[in-house]
Structure 1
Amino acid sequence: MGRRKQVAVCGPRECTEEEWSHAYEVGRLLAERDAVLVCGGHGGVMAGASAGARAGGGIVVGVLPEADRVNANGDLTVALPTGLGEARNALVVNAGDAVIVVGGSWGTLSELALAMRAGRVPVVQLGGWRVLDAHGRPPGDVLHARDPGEAVAMTGLWT
């Protein structure tokens, strides 16, 4: 029996109902596959993914920007206070065997970029902002999913 797969799920603290629902389903599907979900530990997409994973009986690790656990969401199994502020984004993405991004914000964009720079592929994006190169083309290494099931499948961790 090997180590469990770890998947970082990133997304904005303030999100739409659809993004929250997508994050919830991603979290539930990851728990169903016995993966450990790693996230930023707060609200929005992070809370949706955490709630889904917790409902599915999964393990949820929140890497918090603060030096305490006061603002951690209630669905975390483990809350890791870092005191690093937004620099904790690098810890979140580096903890994943794959990264799933749901929705978009400046912090989420930084996580996507950090994941790509660290070679944490696959990076799967579900909704959110689109990054284009100087020629108006999307970078080829970010995979775009249509729904939560496809996002989880596109990680390639269970093929």
Structure 2
Amino acid sequence: MEKKRPLRCQVAVVGGNTCSEEVFQIAYTVGAELAARGAWLICGGLGGVMEAVSRGATENGGHAIGILPGYDHDSANRWLSAAIATGLGHARNVVVVAAGHVVIALPGAHGTAAEVHLARVLGRPVVALSAWGEIPGVQEVSDPRVAVELALKLCRRCHASDHEERGNDELLQSS
């Protein structure tokens, strides 16, 4: 039987489509840290937090995949490695969080709140940066580096339990 190649951790990062300079810098740091640790970034592919985290990832040698709400690839932020046009509108939020093994949530509005709740419904671990900590099951931290470290630990746990279920003891990469 051929050995399956280990997956990299796929981390969905959610947050507002507009953001303050402070939140932009936090999101950029999250992207840079994910890239440094070899994780793949999944996001909504537009502006604000999505653009900042994508820029942080790609400027530091990582990969950023954007799940777009419309059919127009040109709506994607310029920092994405790949843009997936869905035509799903807000329903694309389900795809964003389902594509991640774990979710990091930054400040945002109704769409971000929906993504955090959807992640919990899907059983995805959620690490929140100074927002969303009041939602049951969400782990809140204040430092972006700590958020990435915790997210990758949770990702490894998810991978370990997936492999146990399949009878495969191969460790999956996250860095």
Partner of residue 148, structure 1: 144
Secondary structure of 1:125's match?
strand
Q: 1:57 to 1:129 in 2, by over 3 A?
A: same
4+ residue stretches of structure 1 with deviation over 4 A?
Answer: none
Matches within 5 A, 1:1-159: 2-121=6-125, 123-131=126-134, 139=136, 141-155=137-151, 156=153, 157=155
CA contact (8 A) 1:24 1:52 kept: yes
> Compared with structure 1, are the counterparts of its residues 68 and 7 closer, same or farther at alpha carbon in structure 2 (3 Å cutoff)?
same
Q: Tell me which amino acid in the other structure corresponds to 1:52.
A: G
How many residue pairs match? The answer is: 151
Aligned sequence identity (%): 46
Equivalent pair of 2:30/2:144 in contact (CA under 8 Å): yes
Cα distance in 2, alignment partners of residues 130 and 5 from structure 1:
23
When residues 130 and 97 of structure 1 are mapped into structure 2, their CA distance, relative to the original with a 3 A threshold, is: closer
Using a 3 Å threshold, how does the CA distance of structure 1 residues 104 and 129 change in structure 2: closer, same or farther? farther
Residue identity matched to 1:26: V
What secondary structure is seen at the aligned counterpart in 2 of 1:70? Answer: helix
After TM superposition, the score normalised by the length of structure 2 is 0.82
| Structure richer in helix, relative to its length | 2
Separation in 2 of the partners of 1:106 and 1:149? Answer: 25
Q: Which has more radius of gyration? A: 2
State the one-letter code of the partner of 1:110: A
TM-score normalised per structure 1: 0.90
Show the counterpart of 1:134: none
RMSD across aligned positions (CA): 1.4
Q: Which runs of 5+ in 2 are unaligned?
A: 158-175
